[in-house]
C-alpha cells in the first residue's frame, strides 16, 4: 500500500493548463511519439509538452533507464519507488507501483520499502542501493558508509546508474510539485481530459 504522502499534486490544480490538442508542430510530434511508445499521454506529458525538445530528452532518459542499464529493471523500479516515497511524490508512486508489480516485485515487498532497514525482504545488494537513495535524498550527498556498502555489491558503472536513477526521479518529483501536475486519477474535467490506463 502506498504510504500517506502529502504531495501538492493531490491538492492543487495544475499551474499551467494541461495541453489537450497541441497546435505547435514539435509538440504534436512529441505527443505522437509518446502515444506510439506507451499508448497514452500522461498529465506529465501534457505539461512538458510546452517544452517539447526538453520533453523528448527527458523521455529518452526514461527509456535508457529502463532498457540501457546494467542494473536489472526491478532494481531500477525499487529506486524509483523509494525516491517517490521519501520525497512524497504521489504522482511518481502512482505511475511506478504497477510497473514494479509488472516486472516481478511483490506487493509485500513494495509495502516493506518504507521500513526497509527492518525488513528481511531485501537482499544485501538491494539494501546497499536503498541506503544510497536515503543518503542522497536526506543529506544531499552520499556518505562514506553508504558508498562503501555500494562498492561491495556494485561496479562503478552500476553505482553511477543507481545515482542517476535517484537524482532523475528526484528532479521529476520537484517538477511535478512545482507545476502542480495532477494525478491521472484526478481526471481534470476542466481540461476535458479523461485518461484510461493502458492495460
Question: What would the pLDDT profile of 49-91 be if each residue is shown by its tens digit?
Answer: 999 999 999 999 999 998 999 999 999 999 999 999 999 999 9
How much is the pTM?
0.85
Q: Do the domain assignments include residue 90? A: yes
Instruction: Using DSSP, state whether 87 is helix, strand or coil.
Output: helix
Residue indicated by cell numbers 528526484: 170
How many structural domains is the chain composed of? 1
**pLDDT tens digits along 114-154:** 999 999 999 999 999 999 999 999 888 788 888 999 999 99
**Residue 33 within a domain:** no
Q: What is the pLDDT of residues 22-54, one digit of tens each?
A: 999 999 999 999 999 888 999 999 999 999 999
190 domain residue, yes or no: no
Nearest in space to 8 (alpha carbons), one of 88, 81, 86, 95? 88
Which ranges of the chain does DSSP label H, i.e. alpha helix? Answer: 25-38, 43-48, 52-67, 73-87, 90-102, 107-112, 124-139, 144-153, 156-179
Instruction: Give the range of the structural domain holding residue 92, as residue numbers without chain letter.
Output: 71-178
Whether 8 is covered by a domain: the verdict is no
Does 19 map to a domain?
A: no
Cell numbers that stand for 86 in this block = 521519501
Amino acid at each position: 500500500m502506498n504510504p500517506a504522502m502529502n504531495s501538492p499534486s493531490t491538492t492543487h490544480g495544475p499551474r499551467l493548463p494541461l495541453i489537450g490538442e497541441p497546435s505547435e508542430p514539435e509538440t504534436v510530434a512529441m505527443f505522437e511519439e509518446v502515444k506510439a511508445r506507451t499508448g497514452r499521454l500522461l498529465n506529465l506529458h501534457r505539461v512538458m509538452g510546452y517544452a517539447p525538445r526538453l520533453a523528448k530528452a527527458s523521455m529518452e532518459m526514461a527509456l535508457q533507464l529502463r532498457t540501457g542499464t546494467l542494473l536489472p529493471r526491478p532494481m531500477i523500479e525499487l529506486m524509483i519507488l523509494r525516491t517517490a516515497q521519501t520525497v512524497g511524490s504521489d504522482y511518481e508512486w502512482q505511475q511506478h507501483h504497477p510497473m514494479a508489480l509488472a516486472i516481478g516485485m511483490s506487493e509485500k515487498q513494495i509495502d516493506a520499502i518504507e521500513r526497509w532497514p527492518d525488513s528481511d525482504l531485501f537482499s544485501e545488494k538491494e539494501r546497499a542501493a536503498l541506503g544510497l537513495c536515503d543518503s542522497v535524498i536526506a543529506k544531499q550527498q552520499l556518505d562514506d558508509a553508504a558508498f562503501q556498502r555500494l562498492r561491495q555489491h556494485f561496479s562503478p558503472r552500476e553505482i553511477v546508474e543507481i545515482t542517476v536513477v535517484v537524482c532523475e526521479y528526484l528532479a521529476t518529483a520537484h517538477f511535478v510539485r512545482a507545476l502542480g501536475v495532477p494525478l491521472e486519477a484526478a481526471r481534470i474535467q476542466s481540461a476535458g481530459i479523461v485518461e484510461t490506463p493502458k492495460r
